[in-house]
A = this chain, B = another copy of it.
């Protein structure tokens, strides 16, 4: 702390008071409250005066920028290009695909007036862009040589939700939506699974969130798709969170929007389409998968700040030395592409800085105090397990690189172990309901495949099918009877309560 300014003492007290207000509820007491608390205390986001909309604050938005940078590269490496389509969709467009309009109608925001006049046709603020994009595709596609179309869009979308929750379910959210068109179903299906795998890779290798990837039941598919595939993760409250979807649209939209091409044999064919998306919801997933009672725990590969250097001093002379050492080390780290910050604020005690960066989930904190300055040493503190590691200053960079990988793996393995320990095989209704009520988690069960049966299960327990087991998708024979209705089972389904 600087000795310069005697007013600072008062300031520190104020900050202490302010800090005391940043109380985070314990996860085991009230998970939902904990979630709201950690977001506020880490300065991720705020509710806005517009009902259900959120303000993504700079620190929260920096995570979205990390996600975008990584995903955008993955999309481009798999041959996709970005484009931009209008935010407004004529109401009549949505109605062209029957299931699609039925699925989205209750959630639409509608522009009825513009430029001071009532519009002849009302415009919908896009809830998703299939209809407006495919109207263009129908003009662009003439021959098989125009295929495939591999387009992605980064955009804001609006779905009027009654119950909202920061990042997980907001009236407006940010996302990317890929929309592709292909010559054959074989090709489009390959695309669907390729992008599902991109999402799995992103979740696991960058967010350190283990996911199950698979097909959805017909009740849970996207409105207008033949089939929806999804990646699903388990949160720390044992509920499921859908982390991304990839839709096999078949020729449903191609027929509704007349997207036809002349094939190699001169015949006129409809294209086969896919769409796939992930959203700012993935920020919520990261928080609920890794956070602890001290705040956010950011996975190192997406953390906007991977390490924070905190210089410690007792007087002005020590301050100058410690700060300049930290700045020098930080410059060196930047050359190694490590995202680093030096916290040299002179109005906060080191302990208050520690708490703040802990709340923000920065993977590694590096403390350099007067004794470290003498011994050219430093203390590294892991955010995830809060372990201290003592190193020489010259070893910081290699040690840090190693630590960032260690933390990633540790977060992933911990989450995987948690999911495995909370996934249960059940064969009868009683074990399922008892397990769901007493333990929660994922429940694998033989299921008849009937939408009405699924609906009844949902009504009774609030649990839904997150994905179907691969064997079912492959057409393999399933043993036993449906755990709910006792008809012969046609699939193994994973049931859970979900966000």
Question: Are B87 and A172 in contact (CB-based, < 8 A)?
Answer: yes
Q: Report chain B residues within 8 Å CB of A49.
A: 90, 93, 132, 135
Question: Are A84 and B61 in contact (CB-based, < 8 A)?
Answer: yes
- A34-42, A109-117, A183-191 - the one binding chain B: A109-117
Q: Does A267 contact B (CB under 8 A)?
A: no
Question: Are A88 and B160 in contact (CB-based, < 8 A)?
Answer: no
Q: Does A156 contact B (CB under 8 A)?
A: yes
- B-contact 0/1 string along A40-79, CB 8 Å cutoff: 0000001011100111111001101100000000000000
Q: Report chain B residues within 8 Å CB of A110.
A: 111-114
Q: Does A403 contact B (CB under 8 A)?
A: no
Residue from B83, B93, B156 in contact with A56 in the complex, judged by beta carbons closer than 8 Å: B83
Question: Are B115 and A55 in contact (CB-based, < 8 A)?
Answer: no
A: interface residue count bin: 35 or more
Q: Report chain B residues within 8 Å CB of A347.
A: 145
- What's the nearest-Cβ distance from chain B to residue A143, in Å? 8
Q: Does A9 contact B (CB under 8 A)?
A: no
Q: Does A473 contact B (CB under 8 A)?
A: no
Question: Are A109 and B116 in contact (CB-based, < 8 A)?
Answer: no
Please report which residues of chain A, range 79-113, place their CB below 8 angstroms from some CB of chain B when the two chains form the complex. Answer: 81-90, 93, 105-113
A149 (CB) vs chain B CBs: closest residue: B58
- What's the nearest-Cβ distance from chain B to residue A408, in Å? 25
Question: Are A83 and B107 in contact (CB-based, < 8 A)?
Answer: no
Question: Are B114 and A160 in contact (CB-based, < 8 A)?
Answer: yes
Would A108 and B112 be within 8 Å (CB), given that A82-B61, A136-B46, A145-B347 are in contact? no
Residue from B56, B89, B108 in contact with A114 in the complex, judged by beta carbons closer than 8 Å: B108
Q: Does A123 contact B (CB under 8 A)?
A: yes
In angstroms, Cα B127 to Cα A115, docked, is 12
Question: Are B114 and A111 in contact (CB-based, < 8 A)?
Answer: no
Chain A: interface secondary structure?
mixed
- What's the nearest-Cβ distance from chain B to residue A144, in Å? 11
Q: Does A174 contact B (CB under 8 A)?
A: yes
Q: Does A125 contact B (CB under 8 A)?
A: yes
Residue from B48, B86, B139 in contact with A172 in the complex, judged by beta carbons closer than 8 Å: B86
- What's the nearest-Cβ distance from chain B to residue A48, in Å? 5
Question: Are A86 and B145 in contact (CB-based, < 8 A)?
Answer: no
Residue from B64, B87, B107, B116 in contact with A158 in the complex, judged by beta carbons closer than 8 Å: B87
Question: Are A81 and B62 in contact (CB-based, < 8 A)?
Answer: yes
In angstroms, Cα B113 to Cα A102, docked, is 17
- What's the nearest-Cβ distance from chain B to residue A257, in Å? 11
Q: Report chain B residues within 8 Å CB of A158.
A: 87-88
Q: Report chain B residues within 8 Å CB of A172.
A: 86-88
Question: Are A112 and B112 in contact (CB-based, < 8 A)?
Answer: yes
In angstroms, Cα B93 to Cα A44, docked, is 24
Q: Report chain B residues within 8 Å CB of A111.
A: 109-112, 125
In angstroms, Cα B86 to Cα A486, docked, is 49
In angstroms, Cα B282 to Cα A259, docked, is 33
Question: Are B58 and A88 in contact (CB-based, < 8 A)?
Answer: no
Q: Report chain B residues within 8 Å CB of A29.
A: none
Please report which residues of chain A, range 148-188, place their CB below 8 angstroms from some CB of chain B when the two chains form the complex. Answer: 151, 155-156, 158, 160-162, 171-172, 174
In angstroms, Cα B160 to Cα A62, docked, is 32
Residue from B55, B123, B160 in contact with A136 in the complex, judged by beta carbons closer than 8 Å: B55
Question: Are A87 and B156 in contact (CB-based, < 8 A)?
Answer: yes
Q: Report chain B residues within 8 Å CB of A11.
A: 145
Would A82 and B58 be within 8 Å (CB), given that A50-B123, A162-B115 are in contact? yes
Please report which residues of chain A, range 113-137, place their CB below 8 angstroms from some CB of chain B when the two chains form the complex. Answer: 113-116, 123, 125, 132, 135-136
Q: Report chain B residues within 8 Å CB of A62.
A: 81-82
- What's the nearest-Cβ distance from chain B to residue A416, in Å? 32
- What's the nearest-Cβ distance from chain B to residue A495, in Å? 29
Would A136 and B48 be within 8 Å (CB), given that A53-B86, A87-B156, A125-B125 are in contact? yes
Question: Are A81 and B58 in contact (CB-based, < 8 A)?
Answer: yes
Would A112 and B113 be within 8 Å (CB), given that A58-B83, A86-B54 are in contact? yes
In angstroms, Cα B115 to Cα A209, docked, is 33
In angstroms, Cα B344 to Cα A365, docked, is 51
A65 (CB) vs chain B CBs: closest residue: B82
Task: Report 6 cross-chain contacts, Cβ distance below 8 Å, ordered by A residue.
Answer: A49-B132, A50-B88, A54-B86, A56-B83, A110-B111, A110-B112
The 3 nearest A-B residue pairs measured at CB: A115-B160, A53-B86, A58-B81
Given pairs A48-B86, A88-B171, A110-B111, 11 additional interface contacts (CB within 8 A): A48-B132, A49-B90, A56-B85, A57-B83, A58-B83, A61-B81, A61-B82, A87-B158, A109-B123, A114-B160, A125-B125
